[in-house]
Copies of this chain bind each other. A is one copy, B any other.
Amino acid sequence: MTKTSGTPLNAQTCQLICDAVTDRFDKQVSFLADFVRIPSLRFEEAPAQDFIAAALQDRGYEVDEWQVRLSELEPLPGFGPIHGDFSRARTVVGTHRPGVTHGRSLILQGHLDVVPTGPVDMWTHPPFEPKIIDGWMYGRGAGDMKSGTVAAIFALDALRHAGFEPAARIHVQSVIEEESTGLGALSTLQRGYRADLAVLPEPSGHTVNRAQIGVLWFRIAVKGRPTHVAVAQEGSNAIMAAHDVIRALQKLEADWNARAAQDPVYGDVPHPLNFNPGQIAGGDWASSVPAWCNVDCRIGVLPGQDLAAAKSEIEACVSAASRDHPFLSNNPPEVIWNGFQAEGYVLGPEAEPGLAAMRRSHAAVFGKGAELAERKMTALTDTRFYGLYYGIPAFCYGPQAENIHGFDERVNLDSFRRTTEVLALFIADWCGLNHMSGG
C-alpha cells in the first residue's frame, strides 16, 4: 500500500466521492435504522455506545472507550451537575491517523443520548421501531442526532471506498449527555482530544450555527402545608404555589427577552430566551393538600451573559415570588441546579477557515451559488466546550429533521445522503487526501 499526499479536490474527485456515498447508501440507511432501534435514553446509553464502538473497530480505527468519572470533570469550565445514576456513562472515540499528514486535524462529534419519547401512544409508530415513509425515517433520535453521526462515519467510509484516506488526524467522537449537561463532550476534552476544528453533524438542515444561546437547568422544589382537604384553607397547596413561582419566572423570561432586544448578536431574533417548565411532580393524594411539588425548568441565557449573575437573578425571582405568599414566605422554595450550566457561544473569525471549507463543500453538493445559511440558535449544542474553553472553533452542519424532541421525530433521507456527501467533501477539503493504492 502506498499513499500519495495532496490529492487535489477537483470535480472528478468530488464525483468519485459522492458516487461512493451513493453506492453504500442502502447500507447506511439500514445502519441508521439499527442505531435508532437502540433506545439510548439518558443513563441507558451503554448499548448504543457498544454499537458505535464496534462500528469504529470494524473499520480499523484506533478505538478509545472509557468510563466517564464526574470527579475528573467537576473542576472544568462548563461542568453541569448530574442528578442520576452516572455509573454506566461512557465515551467512545475512534481515531484515524494518516500515513502522511499534510492537512488540518478534525473532530467529528455525535451525541447518541436521546430525549424521552413522552407517551408512546401519541406516536404514530413506536419511537424505537424506525419506519421509512415517503423518504423520511421516523424514530426517536433519527433526527437528533443519530443520522448525523452515521453520516460522519459513512462519509469517512466513502473516502476510503473512493480510494483515499484523510491526510490529517481525525477523531470520531461518540458522546452522551448532550441533551442535559454536555458532560460527554467535556469528557473528550478532559481526556486530551484536540484538533484544529470540530464539526458536529447536528440536524441543522444544511445550515451552520453562527451563534447559540446558553442554557440553565434547575428544579424548583416547593413545599406545602398538608392538611385534610376538609380544611384545605388551613393548608398550603404546593402545586398551586409552584405555579405562582412559574408565573414569576415567566416575568423574568419576559425581562430577559426585553434586554435581549439590545443584544449585538441576538437583537434581531424574536424571543430568543425560552423558559420552559418541562416536568412536574407533586402531591400524593387527591384528598390531601399537597405537601410538595417539584418543577424541572430550563431557561436560555445570552452569549456573554454571566452565568453566576443569571443564577442569582433566578434565585432572587423565586425568593421575591415567595415573599408575599402566606406559607412560602417562611418556607421558601429551593432552587436546585440539576443540569446544564451552559454559556452561549458565538463563532468568531477563528472559525472562518472551517466555515469557508464548509461553504465550498456545501456548494459542491447543492450546486454552484448554493449559499450556506447561518443560524442564530435559540438552543445549544456541545460546540461551546470546544470553542469557549479549548480554542477549537466548532460548528454544526447536518441533515434536515423534524419534530426533534416531539412525537414522530423524523429525518429526511435525501438530506441524510447529501449531508454524507457534504461531510465527505468537507473532510477531503479540510484534512486533505492521501491516495491509497492497493499493494
Which residues of A does B touch, CB under 8 Å? 115-119, 122, 179-180, 215, 217, 223, 225-233, 235, 237, 239-240, 243, 246, 271, 274-293, 295-298, 339-340, 377-379, 403-407
Contacts and interface: CB of A to CB of B under 8 A. Distances in A.
Contacts of A287: 115, 179-180, 215, 217, 276, 278, 298, 340, 379, 405
B278 A285 contact: yes
Contacts of A291: 118-119, 122, 406-407
Nearest to A218: B286
Contacts of A117: 284
Given A285-B296, A288-B406, 4 more contacts: A116-B284, A229-B276, A229-B405, A287-B298
Contacts of A276: 229, 232, 237, 286-289
A223 B121 CA distance: 12
A283 to B, nearest CB: 4
Question: Considering residues A116, A225, A283, A339, which has the most beta carbons from chain B within 10 angstroms of its beta carbon?
Answer: A283
Contact of A228 (B227, B293, B406): B406
8 contacts: A116-B285, A226-B405, A239-B279, A239-B295, A278-B287, A286-B297, A286-B298, A288-B406
Contacts of A340: 287
Contacts of A289: 276, 278, 405
A298 B223 CA distance: 20
Contacts of A377: 230
Nearest to A281: B281
Nearest to A250: B240
A278 B274 contact: no
Main secondary structure of the interface of A (DSSP, over half): mixed
Given A232-B276, A278-B287, A281-B281, A118 B407 contact: no
Given A276-B237, A405-B227, A284 B118 contact: yes
- The 3 closest A-B CB pairs, nearest first, are A230-B379, A116-B284, A279-B283
Contacts of A231: 378
Copies of the protein in its oligomer: 2
A228 B298 contact: no
A285 B405 contact: yes
A407 B225 CA distance: 8
A128 B290 CA distance: 20
B288 A278 contact: yes
A230 B286 contact: no
A378 to B, nearest CB: 4
A230 B279 CA distance: 16
A271 B234 CA distance: 12
B281 A280 contact: yes
A405 B289 CA distance: 8
A295 B242 CA distance: 14
A280 B274 CA distance: 23
A286 B229 contact: no
Contact of A278 (B283, B379, B403): B283
A286 B122 contact: no
Given A118-B292, A243-B243, A293-B280, A379 B228 contact: yes
Contacts of A280: 239, 280-283, 290, 293
A119 B263 CA distance: 44
A230 B271 CA distance: 10
A340 B286 CA distance: 10
A71 B271 CA distance: 55
A288 B116 contact: yes
A2 to B, nearest CB: 48
A84 to B, nearest CB: 13
Nearest to A338: B286
Contacts of A277: 237, 239-240, 283, 290
A379 B230 CA distance: 5
Nearest to A279: B283
A143 to B, nearest CB: 10
Contacts of A246: 239-240, 243
Contacts of A339: 286
Contacts of A122: 223, 291-292
